[in-house]
Every structure is written in structure tokens, then in C-alpha cells.
Amino acid sequence: MSGLVVDADLCVGCGRCVRVCANDGIEVVDRLARVLPGCVSCGMCVDACPVGALEMVREGTGADLSQWSGVLVVAQTDADGAPLPVASELVGVGRGLADARGCALRVLVLAPGTHGCACTGGFSGLGADGADEVLVSRSPRFGARDCAAMAATVAAAVGATKPEAVLFGATDLGRELAPRVAQRLGCGLTADCTGLAVDSETGLLLQTRPAFGGNLMATIVSPEARPQMATVRPGVFAAPERDASRVCTVYEMPPAPCDVAAPEVLAEEPADDGTSIAACDVLVVVGRGIRDKKSLAVARRLADALGAGLGCTRPVVEAGWLDHGCQVGQTGVSVAPRLLVSLGVSGAVQHLAGISGAGCVVAVNEDPEAPILAAADYAVVGDCREVARAWAEALENR
Ligand SMILES: Cc1cc2nc3c(=O)[nH]c(=O)nc-3n(C[C@H](O)[C@H](O)[C@H](O)COP(=O)(O)OP(=O)(O)OC[C@H]3O[C@@H](n4cnc5c(N)ncnc54)[C@H](O)[C@@H]3O)c2cc1C
């Protein structure tokens, strides 16, 4: 059994364990420490004990990890059934993990439609990206973005293929789907990873993500449970170079029965055009330095002249100047454009976490000490509205 263990022969009942415990997890009765239900196994008392009478025992689950092998990527599609770009990004990183372990990379595509309704064509791109096998599962419920139905099928695919790692895109849907799968399988989940590596000997997935408001990077491991599951935000990893000569087998997989009723649609709202700033090749990002909503016009003008999308920092969203879908950063979208133009952005860590994939960053800030200027490839000190206006004019007059 895992947990805190007291060695009665060593304990002197000094009570230091009780004093450091923040959770009412231990008491001393008759000069002997006794563990209480409040113990959260934090280990503070173990460090504080002067005589080494406390030990945190962490026993394995007894699960046979050797039967788990391979990497599974769960690919979401758009309304037409085409895999989202993040699927290619996951296949790229999944290929690296599978190669390090010498195992197979499979992709499970959750597509709209009906099982057996169509040929399995259209997914060869995932093979060119690096997949060894593609399992295509089709259901009208997947088309309706029904996460309960999807979770049942992902769990069935995991049961059939026993992968040691499963990767999901951290899209809105992926963020709902992955925890449902983790709950069904009784395993852990690391959300919003920005780095993934594997110990080639043990298969331990090293899942790195920002923690404590982005002030440190935590590497999380799941040594006792399989599969190891992670979500990765779109744009964090680059899509791999496609190799059309790669051999990939595509199978149809029936959707698993789902014991949760399909949700009843009461009303439908018009969908947005589905364009995410994560997909932009060129992006203009505005920060609070743009000063007011009216001045967004000059940023839009520059974006139009560059053929770019428009993103922003969190304060711009909080001010109601742009929608949350435009927010770049830790609690927004991760972007990886070829060119990113940053206007009046300070460069807080939470924002920089979302632009690490950008190819070239041009930043304009009136404060020469602003962190964004140190992070940029080209730094311009000045009023971002004037620089944007002059740049747009120059492009328009070409
Ligand atoms: C848990 C958590 C998650 C967060 N997630 C995100 C996130 O996803 N995305 C995000 O962006 N932020 C996020 N934040 C907020 C983040 O910490 C910063 O507060 C935010 O990024 C600052 O936005 P800003 O640079 O627009 O504003 P400010 O920090 O106010 O900076 C404005 C900058 O504009 C410059 N400036 C002012 N006027 C001009 C001008 N006329 N011309 C040129 N420069 C000018 C100033 O010198 C300054 O550097 C998060 C914070 C927390 C705690």
C-alpha cells in the first residue's frame, strides 16, 4: 500500500511532524506519531523528522507495463472530415517518440459520416507525415462533436492497440475529450504540453508544460499507469516534412457503442468561419500599447497589407476590443506564423509561451526595456501606431 508509514521503533514522539503538517495529516499520541486520514502524502513530515522514523512508501499499481507499446495520436477532423492541422503536428512529434522506442505510430481519426460509408482515402497525408497505421472511425455523432461517443471509441482503440502514449490536440474539443478518455481508462493526463520526450529505455513519457502562471516549466511523468496521455496545443510543434514514399496502412474501425445518449440539439448558432489565428502564416499581434479600440484600425490596416491575421494579448480581450479567439499565449492560442509583428506588447512570460513557434518576430514598443524587444528578431523602439501606419502605407504604395 502507498502512503506515509511510521516506524514505531524509531519515533520519539517529538511532534515536529505535526508542526510542519498543513493538512491535519498526522498526530502524536502517547509519544508515537500516527497517520490521520487528512494526510496527502506531501512528504513534509518525512523531511522534518529528526530521527528518520517516517517514510513515504510509493508502491506500483502492479500493472504489467510491458504489454503496452506504440504511440497513438487521436486526430480530430473538420466538418468535411479532413484532419485538422494539429493532427500532422502530433504525428510529427509522435513519430519521434515512436522512433526512440522502436515502436509503431498509429493515428485514430474520428471522422463524421457512417461506418463503411466511404473509402478510406483522404488520410494518406497522415502516412506521409509519419504514421504507420491510420484507423478511421466514422459516426454521425463524431460529426456532431459528441465527446461521449468519441471517448468510447478512443477507449476501445486504446484497449485494442495498447499504446504506451496517447496524444490529443488541445483544441476546444480535445480539451473536453481527453479528460473523458482518462476517466474511462483510469489513467492520468497532462494538459497543454509544450515539450514531449521519451526515455528510450523505460518508455516513460517526459511531459513538459508551463506551471505556476508560466514562471517555471514542469516535467511530469506517469510511472505507474498506462497509457500515458497528453494534450498539445495547436501550433506548439511544427508540422513534419511530408514524405509521400512512406508506407501507411489505413483501416476502418467501427465506432464503439456509447452508453451515454446523444445530446439533443435545441437550437443552432451560426458557426464562425472556423479560421484560427493558429493557422496564420503571417500574424499581427496587438497589445495594450495600441491604447484604444479605435486604434485597432491601423493594426488591421497593416494586417491587411501584409495578408496577415490579427491576434492580441489578454488585456486587449479583457477590454473587449477583440474576442478571446484572438488571444495569443498561455491561456489563449499558441501560434507559429512565419512572420509575427508585435505592436505595443510588453512580452510577459504568459504571452511569450504562445509565440515560441514563430519564425521571425518584429516587435514595436516605445519602452526600450520591454521584454518583447529582447525576445524579437527585429526590435523597433517607437509608437506602434505610427510605425504600423508608415509600414502599411509603404506596402500599399508598392
Ligand atoms: C495565469 C495567467 C495567464 C495569462 N495568459 C495570458 C495569455 O494567454 N496571453 C497574454 O497575452 N497574456 C496572458 N496573461 C497576462 C500577462 O501576464 C500580461 O499581463 C499581458 O500579456 C500583458 O499584455 P500587454 O503586453 O498587452 O500589456 P502591458 O503589459 O500593459 O504592456 C503594454 C506595452 O505596450 C507598450 N506601449 C504602450 N504604449 C505604446 C505605444 N503607443 N507604442 C508602442 N508601445 C507602447 C508599453 O511599453 C508596454 O510594454 C496571463 C496572466 C496570467 C497570470
- Interval between CA 82 and ligand 1 midpoint (Å): 36
pLDDT, residue 60, reads 61
Residue nearest to atom 38 of ligand 1 (CA): 289
Q: What is the pLDDT confidence band of residue 275, given thresholds at 50, 70 and 90?
A: low
Quote ipTM for the complex: 0.99
- Interval between CA 354 and ligand 1 midpoint (Å): 13
pLDDT, residue 181, reads 96
Residue nearest to atom 14 of ligand 1 (CA): 350
Q: Which three cell numbers mark 351?
A: 504571452
pLDDT, residue 272, reads 56
For residue 297, which of 362, 395, 385, 387 has the smallest C-alpha distance?
A: 385
* Residue 398 to residue 395: CA distance in whole angstroms: 5
Angle, helices 296-306 vs 384-396, to 10°: value is 40
Backbone φ, ψ for residue 129 (5° rounding): -70, -25
Residues 76, 79, 83, CA angle at the centre, nearest 5°? 35
Residue nearest to atom 18 of ligand 1 (CA): 348
26 backbone φψ class: left, alpha, beta (φ>0; ψ -120 to 50): beta
Q: Which three cell numbers mark 316?
A: 486587449
What is the pLDDT averaged over residues 139-165? 95
* Residue 89 to residue 102: CA distance in whole angstroms: 20
User: What is the per-residue pLDDT across 331-341, written as a single tens digit (0 to 9) for each?
Assistant: 888 899 999 99
143 backbone φψ class: left, alpha, beta (φ>0; ψ -120 to 50): alpha
Q: Is the pLDDT of residue 261 over 80?
A: yes
Query: 76 burial class (0-12, 13-18, 19+ CB within 10 angstroms)?
Result: buried
- Interval between CA 392 and ligand 1 midpoint (Å): 23
Q: For the sheet containing 71-76, what is the strand order? A: 190-193, 228-232, 165-169, 71-76, 105-111, 133-138, 249-252
Any bridge partners for residue 327, and if so which? 312
- Interval between CA 306 and ligand 1 midpoint (Å): 23
Using most ligand atoms within 8 A of CB, pick from 284, 314, 367, 373 the residue to mutate for ligand 1.
314
Q: Is the pLDDT of residue 361 over 90?
A: yes
